[in-house]
């Protein structure tokens, strides 16, 4: 057996509470569920990763339960015994046999990259081509739905020097109330902060056209996924007519989607999410497509915990241009953590460690306390 062969893969569902309900157009989060992945190798190295989605099946085609089941049942038999040090070969082996399941693939790739970084004594960012920055500006989502509360929360974040980019989740309410809510917040914050909106596909094209014009003329910097991901022609029309840039998010469910959106001119900005592309390496392929087409980049999140957030960060610090910054605030939405040391947010930025792998380790006691099943489920080599 290879010294670096994969010996076992363990998946652990973890439920963590959030600081407040987090409202999206299609779902309101009351807590967040993570799938933690541990890949143990014959040389004693362990890689850790995370697969996290939002709202069960309300957001996409994968849920925490399906991610765990599919990794245990379908991924593990393909990977156990394979060379953990050849991340490319391992992921291609999965691609040949398993369609979709990008969230699960992202967590596996993260764990393999973490293991290889630890083995070589290199941060994951160096395995991905080399960092060009050490920290990333981070947006904060204002999602209470109450204008006064959201303004107060934004002011607090500015005072703490934690965030000066704010995204508002709208679309679930009546459109005129949503617009008034956003415009009032922008007026209160003025030039001290960037204000953006995320509609999560909630509007039809006619509503979106009017709303985008109003938002753009009132100083809103960016409008994320205003209409259905399936209405690509409508996205093209909106992108041509809106005074504020249109960002594609749900429209990008794989690297091929990014290519088609770029070809058709359906968005001026792409939200990069490792989970929806299939891992840190895959999301950089989407970034390359965007850069070649002159499309701006934004580092997105699926509201992951620390592991998933840092996996994204290691990819994003390698990008030459990240004009629209990031929203890697997922761990700040949680009241509890399963890491030995929390991520470092300071002076409006997330700081990315230079230690081997992801630069993170699990707190075993807290992991045991918050895991859903309370028992080990590692899949070993036969």
Active site members: 169, 327
User: Is 168 strand, coil or helix?
Assistant: strand
Distance of CA 331 to the CA centre of its chain: 11
CB atoms within 10 A of CB 366: 16
CA distance 14 to 139: 25
CA atoms of 224 and 168, how far apart (whole Å): 10
Question: Does residue 128 sit in helix, strand or coil?
Answer: coil
For the record, the structure tokens of 247 come out as: 């960002």
* In contact, 113 and 47? CB cutoff 8 Å: yes
d(CA 339, CA 161): 24
What span, in angstroms and rounded, lies between the C-alpha atoms of 336 and 331?
9
CA angle 64, 70, 75 (to 5 degrees): 130
């Amino acid at each position: 057996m290879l010294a670096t062969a994969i010996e076992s893969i363990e998946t652990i569902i973890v439920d963590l509470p959030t600081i407040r309900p987090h409202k999206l157009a299609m779902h309101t989060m009351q807590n967040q569920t993570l799938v933690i992945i541990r890949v143990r190798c014959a040389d004693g190295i362990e890689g850790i990763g995370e697969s996290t989605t939002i709202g069960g099946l309300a957001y996409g085609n994968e849920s925490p339960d399906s991610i765990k089941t599919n990794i245990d049942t379908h991924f593990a038999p393909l990977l156990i015994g394979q060379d953990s040090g050849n991340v490319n070969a391992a992921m291609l082996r999965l691609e040949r046999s398993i369609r979709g399941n990008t969230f699960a693939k992202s967590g596996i790739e993260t764990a393999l990259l973490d293991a290889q970084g630890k083995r070589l004594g290199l941060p994951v960012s160096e395995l991905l081509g080399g960092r060009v920055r050490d920290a990333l500006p981070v947006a904060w989502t204002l999602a209470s739905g109450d204008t006064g509360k959201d303004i107060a929360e934004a002011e607090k974040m500015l005072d703490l020097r934690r965030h000066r980019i704010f995204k508002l989740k709208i679309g679930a309410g009546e459109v005129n109330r949503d617009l008034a809510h956003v415009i009032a917040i922008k007026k209160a914050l003025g030039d001290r902060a960037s204000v953006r909106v995320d509609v999560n596909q909630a509007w039809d094209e006619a509503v979106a056209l009017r709303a985008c014009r109003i938002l753009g003329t009132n100083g809103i910097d960016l409008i994320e996924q205003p209409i259905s991901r399936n209405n690509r022609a409508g996205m093209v029309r909106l992108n041509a007519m809106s005074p504020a840039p249109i960002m594609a998010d749900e429209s990008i469910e794989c690297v091929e989607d990014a290519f088609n959106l770029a070809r058709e001119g359906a968005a001026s900005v792409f939200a990069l999410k490792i989970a929806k592309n299939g891992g840190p390496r895959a999301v950089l392929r989407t970034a390359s497509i965007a850069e070649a087409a002159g499309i701006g980049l934004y580092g997105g999140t699926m509201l992951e915990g620390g592991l998933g957030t840092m996996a994204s960060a290691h990819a994003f610090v390698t990008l030459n241009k990240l004009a629209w910054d990031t929203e890697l605030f997922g761990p700040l939405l949680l009241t509890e953590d399963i890491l030995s040391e929390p991520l470092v947010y300071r002076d409006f930025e997330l700081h990315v460690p230079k230690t081997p792998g992801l630069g993170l380790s699990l707190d075993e006691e807290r992991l045991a306390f918050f895991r859903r099943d309370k028992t080990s489920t590692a899949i070993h080599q036969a």
